[in-house]
């Protein structure tokens, strides 16, 4: 019972952080449009977060492994979230928004990956499914998207700082009660990072999934603008996220029933095929209500893809470098892919429309699915030889 109770602060951290993440992911593009930025400028601002994460996530991951603590790093990052989000939302010019956004994202982007890394270790220690812990992040995301969407529809997107800070303070309250990981070995050294760089399977896997993650991250950034382009409101944007992330929570919750039936790479290929179909359908839609109806596919695509990729990465990297390896994966998934997706998506939205953007995302997902297929062939053959 004590072990189960010790998970409550971790679940609440995932719940509260992903509630803040909803507000940034779902409504920041609309907030920036309210500030007077055009599609290309919004793309530039959205690219700052992924750019910061490429440096921030390996940096904080290394410190976590170096000092054998996730909890203390999370405390620093959550404090940074509260301080620098307050400053970020005061900025008005493009340059000031981008500069303060870089500092803000440097502290914010590692929180989710470190929380998930801690959840992965705790689930292994307790012999339970990672998805049953991680689903609390999805529940927070879903509830926040629905409630905050309605609040901002009523009071205006310019007031999004207040719900953001509310969930941020909740995260600060629970992070002090986390149960930290135990040190299983000597502290990691800089030279140990070479183990990851020389891990051919790990590096090629990151290259193989990048097309799928670019398409996913681009949709995350621009689905709100696409819904409003089709005539939807902030409340409809919130509903779209609620449907998508509620289905994601269900997929995570049931992971213990379906996950180990097939190899993780097979699940990633299945998710990639569904991603491709989903984006092509979105590209042909002319009424936002159809996007709401099909958002349950978000849970099937992202839920399956994320769990499978995270599990596979955990297999590829040594215990000594778990936090670092996980955050390098996140730097690729949310960082590099996010930069490309934000810049590409902003340019396409500015010069064409959302339908064109989603058709391009369908093509990217097809390429990503084929890449994973060839990666699977390559490494299944090498595993057979071994």
**Would you say residue 191 has pLDDT above 90?**
no
pLDDT, one tens digit per residue, over 39-74 is 788 889 988 988 888 888 778 888 887 888 889 999
- Going from the N-terminus, what domains does the chain have, and what CATH number goes with each? 2-175+194-385 (1.20.1250.20)
pLDDT, one tens digit per residue, over 116-138 is 888 888 888 888 888 889 899 98
**Residue that is written with structure tokens 């994320």 in the block:** 306
Nearest CA among 73, 72, 79, 76 for reference residue 169: 79
CA gap 14, 78 in Å, rounded = 12
Nearest CA among 131, 133, 113, 117 for reference residue 6: 133
Strand locations in 151-291, DSSP E? Answer: none
**Would you say residue 195 has pLDDT above 80?**
no
How many Å is the Cα radius of gyration of the chain?
A: 20
Tokens standing for 78? Answer: 């959550």
Cα–Cα distance list, 52 to 94, 137, 290, 330 (Å): 17, 22, 34, 12
Rounded-to-10 torsion of CA 271, 277, 282, 285: -150
Residue 177, helix vs strand vs coil: coil
CA 204 to chain CA centroid, nearest Å: 21
Confidence of residue 189 (pLDDT cuts 50, 70, 90): low
Mean pLDDT of the 251-275 span: 90
| Contacts of residue 139, Cβ cutoff 8 Å, sequence gap at least 6 | 15, 246, 249
């Amino acid at each position: 019972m004590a072990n189960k109770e010790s998970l409550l602060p971790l679940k609440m951290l995932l719940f509260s952080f992903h509630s803040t993440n909803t507000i940034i992911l779902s409504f920041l593009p609309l907030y920036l449009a309210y500030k007077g930025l055009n599609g290309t400028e919004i793309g530039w601002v959205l690219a700052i977060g992924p750019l910061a994460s490429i440096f921030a996530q390996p940096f904080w991951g290394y410190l976590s492994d170096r000092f054998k603590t996730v909890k203390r790093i999370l405390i620093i990052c959550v404090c940074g979230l509260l301080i620098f989000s307050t400053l970020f939302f005061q900025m008005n010019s493009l340059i000031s928004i981008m500069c303060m956004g870089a500092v803000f994202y440097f502290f914010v982007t590692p929180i989710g990956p470190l929380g998930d890394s801690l959840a992965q270790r705790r689930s292994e220690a307790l012999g339970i499914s990672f998805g049953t812990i991680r689903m609390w992040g999805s529940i927070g995301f879903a509830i926040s998207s629905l409630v905050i969407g309605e609040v901002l529809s009523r009071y205006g997107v310019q007031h999004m700082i207040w719900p953001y800070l509310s969930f941020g303070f909740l995260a600060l309250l629970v992070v002090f009660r986390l149960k930290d990981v135990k040190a299983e070995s000597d502290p990691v050294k800089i030279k140990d990072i070479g183990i990851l760089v020389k891990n051919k399977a790990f590096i090629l896997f990151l290259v193989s999934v990048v097309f799928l993650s670019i398409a996913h991250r681009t949709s995350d950034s621009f689905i709100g603008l696409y819904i409003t382009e089709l005539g939807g409101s902030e409340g409809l944007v919130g509903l779209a996220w609620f449907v998508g992330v509620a289905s994601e929570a269900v997929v995570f919750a049931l992971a213990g029933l379906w996950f180990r039936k097939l190899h993780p790479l097979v699940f990633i290929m299945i998710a990639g095929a569904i991603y491709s179909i989903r984006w092509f359908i979105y590209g042909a839609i002319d009424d936002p209500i159809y996007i709401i109806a099909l958002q349950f596919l978000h849970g099937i695509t992202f839920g399956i893809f994320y769990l499978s990729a995270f599990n596979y990465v955990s297999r590829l990297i040594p215990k000594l470098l778990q936090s670092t390896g996980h955050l390098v994966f996140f730097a690729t998934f949310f960082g590099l892919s996010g930069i490309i997706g934000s810049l590409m998506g902003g340019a396409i939205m500015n010069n064409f429309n959302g339908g064109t953007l989603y058709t391009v995302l369908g093509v990217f997902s097809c390429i990503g699915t084929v890449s994973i297929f060839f990666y699977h062939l390559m490494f299944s053959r090498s595993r057979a030889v071994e």
